[in-house]
Each structure stands twice: as structure tokens, then as C-alpha cells.
């Protein structure tokens, strides 16, 4: 028996025999030529391959796929329509006099490297989609028939080095009980598809394909991120018992989806979701999300093909706003590039990007790009409740700068008779210590605050959250961080504006009561965390939460605070240890 730990990507537990599926490396031919006439022939071959791949994907789209799955497939079709990729391949063929396969390999690799260089794991996962599309094009050019998972004769657990999104879309899902992968992450399209198909999945297992044989008995626990190879009877029974407890826990959570987010003595908070893709909205609505607290617009700019046009942005924003109509407002963060978010062609290449030209600093320098986004946002505000939020504001000068540009764009829309919400709410993230200290000044100019704990913790403690050597210093319960959070909330309330939080801390079940006690009005988190946090908040009184916060704020060490909060939560919520 062998137990492997990975990343839980899709909940549930599956037991069955291993179906081992490993990809062979595609050996792309590298051919150069001197005949200028061949360039035209290679360009034609490339165009024909693109057309055939496009046709295959469109036929796949005609099968029984739902909204989430169709959206992911549409992403792949959009990549095939990307003019920058298309022109890049054609140019490489003619300039370097190489065969089409080689040109696709080179151009796709350049795009993939740009995406993989980003610090955001969700963005890095988007590179998988580009690899998928380019591999299909190269296979088509080479006449290579890709192995299909579309027809299986028995129920199996799929174990693979990796899976491409189109492989998941086309596989025989009736016979695949579970999935275990060497790599990938929870935010990948493969993980999203596995969740939408309700297939228990664990990813990030390292080299599991080298540790199993075809036909081995295997258990995939998608709740805890464990895979058991050739399990003993007692282990299998323990996992079955664990699964029964999880099912009961999930059923209890679903019961609170439509209930108000309030404490036992009637104190209300608002629970919203952080999203970056339209296909996440179904999960938000199923979990009773009361709006979108953070829509990450930079993903429209960091895709292959570069900057999104005004029309593309408008369509994306409108789609989200209309989908959430009547459920709650949609807060869209203006472009937050730089730092660990790389966009090709913008010249953002710095030795110290975390403290560099990023977010509003970039927008104030590239007003041409910023104005286009603001026009798209204002246009979309005519179709539902949209709120605009500015990231990385460090003081009043930056805030007044972006508000001036917003007013100028509003005037342009009025003169052009473009409809928009004249009362569109505007807020700022508080994620820089200077902004926290000046929160009373900033509060006079905005309608709401949203605390970005990911950066606030990083800047407060002076710890690079991407540096593994000092990761232990990144502590949400550091007294300095908690004092900043309390200060921001108090200054926001003194000015009569609501204060929310959209960093990872907002979705941490252990922190829910503490943040409620500190007076936080709105929590915004991943859709998967909404039910858990709502159930916790409904399980305590506001007076209890305030007492917890008051006690914690007197403590002098994050180690003591961590221990105290965990013990306090475990005493009141048994399922933290039982599920």
C-alpha cells in the first residue's frame, strides 16, 4: 500500500482500477529551406491545419456540454482566432524560412513562457490551454492521430502525467470514476471541468504515473487530496467512513445556501465571491453568493494576444453583470498588472516589480489603456449593478488622479450619448500600509473599501509571499496585520462607508469569526468557501465574535493568536476535525 499527497481539485472519493494514460513527446520536425516559394505553401498548410482544428473543436461543442464546459471550449476557439498568434506564426514562417510545425512550436512557446512567468497560479494554468491548442495544430500538420479517451470498455480511475482541457471534454465520462494527475492545480481548466462533471480529482501528485501499474486498485480522495495505491482493507474502510462523514457535512452546508449570512443574534454580514472567469458564476449562485466582491479584470489583458479591446472588455463585463442581476453588485477591479502579473509588450520588466510600476501606477502612466477600460466599465454599468475598484492606492494623490480620469471618461460618454450608470459606486482596495494609515483621508472620496490582505500582509511584514525561504513569516495573524485591519474598518465606519475584504484571509474558515468580531461588513472569497463561512457565521453570536476579537487584539504574538483562535474554533465547530 502507498499513500500519496496532492492537491484536492474536485471533491468526492472514487475507487477502481488504474487506467494509465501517459503522453508521448511530439517530435516536431525542424526544416529550413531556401526556396522562397515554399513559404506560401507552408502558410497555406498552417491555415488549413487551423481550419481543421477549429472544425474539430466546433464539432466537440455540439455534444452535450453545459455552460461551464462550453465556455472553456470557447476559450480554445478564441485562441485559434487570436490575430497576434496567427500573424506571429505566418511571420516566423516567411522570415526564417521554416516549416509550419516549427513556427507553431516557437511562437506558442513564447506565449506559454509569458504566461508561466506570472506569479498568479491561476494565470500560469491558462498556459495549459495554449499548449493544448498548439499541440492540436502541430499534430494536425504532422498527420499524427492523438490517443483518444472517448471510448472505454469498463469503469476506471484515470491516472495521467497531465490532461489537456479538450481531452477532458471529449473523454468517456461514464466510465471514468476518478482522476489523479502528476501536475496541474486547483484553478486549472482541467480542475474546473472535473468539478463540473463531478469526478473526484487529485492533482499535483508528482510522479504518480511512475508509482502505479495499469490495473492496480486505487482510491482517489478529492476532499483531502490523497491517493491510496493498492489499499489495505482497513484503509479502504476508513476512507469509506470519511466519505460518509463528508457527504453528511456537504448536505448540511447546502442547507445554508439560501439562508441569510447572520449571527445567532441577528448581526448581518455580506458574503461575496472572487472570480476571474464567467464559468465560476454557476458555483457562486449555487452557494448563495451575494454578489462579486472581486472580478479580476487583468485576465483579459494577460491572455495570448495581449490587450483586450474596448468591445471585448465591454462584452465580458456586461456578461458578468447581467448574470448576477438581482443577486448582488459586481465589483470589478481595474487592471492590476505589473508585480507578478506579466503582460507582454508593455515594457514592465523591473528588478523589483513588487515595489515597482504596477496597478494604478501603470494606469496613471498609460492613460490610453486605462481610459479604454473605464469606458468599457461605464458602458457595462448600464446593464446591472457594477462597482469600480482601484488597486494599490497608496495615498490621496493617486486616488484623485484616477478619479479625475474617470470623470473625464464619464464626460466623453455623456457627449457621445453613451448610456451608463451616473451613480456607479467607486471604491479602493486597501493593501498598502500608507493607505491603511490614511484610510480616514481616502474614505472621504470613495463609496467603499476592500482590504486586500495578500499584499497588505506582504508589505506590512516586509515578506515576499513568493519566497519559499521566508514563507513562515507570512502570517495573517501577526499583531501588526490585525491592528491594520481593525484600523481600516474603524476609519471606514467613521466615514460611513462599508469595509470588505477580498484577500485569501476572507475565505479562511478559521478567520471568519475573528473578522466578524472586528466589524468587517463584507467577505469576498472563492466560491468554494462561501457555504463553509456562512455556516460558521450562523453558528455564533456577534457578542461572542466581538469578545474573541477583543481578546486576540490584546495578544502580542502570532503564535499565541494562531493557537488561541484554532482552539476557540475547534471547541465550537466539531467538523473542523471530523471531516
Q: Is 480 helix (H, G, I), strand (E, B) or coil?
A: helix
Is there a domain that residue 251 lies in? no
- Radius of gyration of the chain measured on its C-alpha atoms: 25
pLDDT (0 to 100) of residue 435? 95
pLDDT tens string 172-189: 888 899 999 998 777 676
Query: pLDDT below 70 — which residues of the chain?
Result: 24, 60-75, 117-126, 145-148, 187, 189, 279, 302-306, 337-358, 465-468, 471, 575-579
62 and 201 housed in the same domain: no
pLDDT tens string 387-399: 999 998 999 999 9
DSSP characters for 342-388? --TTS----SSGGGSS-HHHHHHH-HHHHHHHHHHHHHHGGGS-EEE
Q: What is the CATH number of the domain that holds 127?
A: 1.10.274.10
Q: What is the CATH number of the domain that holds 169?
A: 3.50.30.10
Other C-beta atoms closer than 10 Å to the C-beta of 410 total 17
18 in Cβ contact with 157 (< 8 Å)? yes
pLDDT (0 to 100) of residue 341? 46
Torsion on CA atoms 81, 83, 86, 87, rounded to nearest 10 = 170
C-alpha cell belonging to residue 577: 476535525
318 and 335 housed in the same domain: yes
Q: What is the CATH number of the domain that holds 550?
A: 3.20.20.60
Task: Give the count of domains, the chain.
Answer: 3
Is there a domain that residue 452 lies in? yes
145 in Cβ contact with 178 (< 8 Å)? no
Structural domain range at position 362:
262-578
**Element at 222 (helix H, strand E):** none
10 and 105 housed in the same domain: no
467 in Cβ contact with 371 (< 8 Å)? no
Residue 136's Cβ-count burial label (10 Å; 0-12, 13-18, 19+) is buried
CA distances from 50 to 57, 109, 360 (A): 11, 17, 38
Residues 6+ apart with CB under 8 A from 343: 298, 301, 302, 306, 307, 337
91 and 163 housed in the same domain: no
Q: Is 61 helix (H, G, I), strand (E, B) or coil?
A: helix
Is there a domain that residue 254 lies in? no
pLDDT (0 to 100) of residue 292? 96
Known catalytic residues are 189, 502
Amino acid at each position: 500500500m502507498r499513500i500519496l499527497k496532492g492537491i484536492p481539485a474536485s471533491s468526492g472519493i472514487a475507487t477502481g482500477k488504474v487506467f494509465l494514460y501517459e503522453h508521448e513527446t511530439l517530435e516536431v520536425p525542424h526544416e529550413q529551406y531556401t526556396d522562397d516559394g515554399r513559404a506560401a505553401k507552408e502558410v497555406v498548410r498552417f491555415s488549413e491545419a487551423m481550419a481543421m482544428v477549429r472544425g474539430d473543436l466546433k464539432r466537440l461543442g455540439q455534444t452535450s456540454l453545459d455552460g461551464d464546459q462550453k465556455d472553456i471550449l470557447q476559450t480554445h476557439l478564441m485562441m485559434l482566432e487570436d490575430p497576434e498568434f496567427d500573424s506571429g506564426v505566418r511571420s516566423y514562417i516567411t522570415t526564417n524560412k521554416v516549416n509550419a510545425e516549427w513556427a507553431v512550436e516557437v511562437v506558442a512557446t513564447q506565449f506559454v513562457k509569458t504566461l508561466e512567468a506570472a506569479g498568479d497560479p491561476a494565470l500560469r494554468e491558462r498556459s495549459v490551454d495554449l499548449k493544448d491548442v498548439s499541440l492540436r495544430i502541430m499534430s494536425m500538420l504532422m498527420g499524427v492521430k492523438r490517443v483518444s479517451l472517448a471510448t472505454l470498455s469498463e469503469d476506471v480511475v484515470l491516472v495521467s502525467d497531465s490532461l489537456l482541457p479538450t481531452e477532458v471534454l471529449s473523454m468517456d465520462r461514464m466510465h471514468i470514476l476518478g482522476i489523479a494527475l502528476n501536475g496541474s492545480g486547483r484553478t486549472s481548466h482541467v480542475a474546473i471541468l472535473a468539478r463540473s462533471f463531478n469526478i473526484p480529482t487529485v492533482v499535483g501528485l508528482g510522479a504518480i504515473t511512475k508509482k502505479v501499474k495499469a490495473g492496480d486498485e486505487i482510491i482517489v480522495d478529492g476532499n483531502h487530496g490523497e491517493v491510496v495505491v493498492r489499499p489495505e482493507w482497513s484503509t479502504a474502510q476508513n476512507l469509506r467512513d470519511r466519505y460518509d462523514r463528508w457527504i453528511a457535512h456537504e448536505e448540511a452546508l447546502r442547507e445554508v445556501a439560501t439562508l441569510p449570512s447572520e449571527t445567532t443574534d441577528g448581526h448581518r454580514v455580506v458574503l461575496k465571491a472572487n472570480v476571474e472567469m464567467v464559468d465560476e458564476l454557476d458555483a457562486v449562485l449555487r452557494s448563495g453568493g451575494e454578489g462579486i466582491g472581486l472580478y479580476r479584470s487583468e485576465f483579459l489583458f494577460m491572455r495570448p494576444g495581449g490587450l483586450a479591446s474596448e468591445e471585448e472588455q465591454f462584452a465580458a463585463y456586461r456578461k458578468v453583470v447581467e448574470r448576477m442581476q438581482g443577486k448582488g453588485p459586481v465589483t470589478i477591479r481595474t487592471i492590476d498588472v505589473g508585480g507578478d502579473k506579466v503582460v507582454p509588450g508593455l515594457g514592465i520588466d523591473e528588478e523589483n516589480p513588487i515595489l515597482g510600476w504596477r496597478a494604478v501606477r501603470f494606469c496613471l502612466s498609460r492613460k490610453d489603456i486605462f481610459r479604454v477600460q473605464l469606458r468599457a466599465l461605464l458602458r457595462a454599468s448600464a446593464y446591472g449593478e457594477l462597482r469600480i475598484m482601484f488597486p494599490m492606492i497608496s495615498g490621496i494623490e493617486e486616488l484623485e488622479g484616477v478619479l479625475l480620469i474617470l470623470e473625464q471618461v464619464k464626460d466623453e460618454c455623456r457627449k457621445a450619448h453613451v448610456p451608463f450608470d451616473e451613480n456607479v459606486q467607486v471604491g479602493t482596495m486597501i493593501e498598502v500600509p500608507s493607505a491603511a494609515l490614511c484610510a480616514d483621508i481616502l474614505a472621504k472620496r470613495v463609496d467603499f473599501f476592500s482590504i486586500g490582505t495578500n499584499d497588505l500582509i506582504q508589505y506590512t511584514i516586509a515578506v515576499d509571499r513568493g519566497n519559499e525561504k521566508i514563507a513562515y513569516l507570512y502570517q495573517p495573524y501577526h499583531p501588526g496585520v490585525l491592528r491594520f485591519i481593525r484600523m481600516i474598518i474603524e476609519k471606514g465606519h467613521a466615514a460611513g462607508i462599508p469595509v470588505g475584504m477580498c484577500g485569501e484571509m476572507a475565505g479562511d474558515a478559521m478567520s471568519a469569526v475573528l473578522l466578524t468580531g472586528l466589524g468587517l461588513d463584507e467577505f469576498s472569497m472563492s466560491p468554494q468557501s462561501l457555504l463553509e463561512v456562512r455556516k460558521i457565521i450562523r453558528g455564533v453570536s456577534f457578542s461572542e465574535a466581538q469578545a474573541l476579537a477583543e481578546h486576540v487584539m490584546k495578544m502580542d504574538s502570532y503564535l499565541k493568536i494562531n493557537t488561541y483562535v484554532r482552539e476557540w474554533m475547534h471547541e465550537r465547530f466539531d467538523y473542523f476535525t471530523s471531516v
